[in-house]
A and B are shown apart, each in its own frame.
Chain A
Amino acid sequence: EDQVTQSPEALRLQEGESSSLNCSYTVSGLRGLFWYRQDPGKGPEFLFTLYSAGEEKEKERLKATLTKKESFLHITAPKPEDSATYLCAVQAQGAGSYQLTFGKGTKLSVIP
Chain B
Amino acid sequence: DGGITQSPKYLFRKEGQNVTLSCEQNLNHDAMYWYRQDPGQGLRLIYYSQIVNDFQKGDIAEGYSVSREKKESFPLTVTSAQKNPTAFYLCASSKTDPIMYSNQPQHFGDGTRLSIL
Q: Does B96 sit at the interface, judged by CB under 8 A?
A: yes
B94 within 8 A of A: yes
- With known contacts A34-B105, A46-B105, A102–B31 Cβ distance under 8 A: no
Interface residue SS majority, chain A: loop
Counting contact residues on chain B (CB < 8 A from A), the size range is: 20 to 34
- CB within 8 A of B42: which of A34, A93, A95, A105? A105
B52 at the interface (CB under 8 A from A): no
Q: Does A74 have its Cβ within 8 Å of any Cβ on chain B?
A: no
CB-based nearest A residue for B95:
A98
Interface residues on chain A, size class: 20 to 34
Partner-B contacts on A (CB < 8 A): 4, 31-32, 34, 36, 41-46, 49, 51, 87, 89, 91, 93-105
Q: Identify which of B48, B102, B109, B111 contacts A99 (C-beta below 8 A).
A: B48
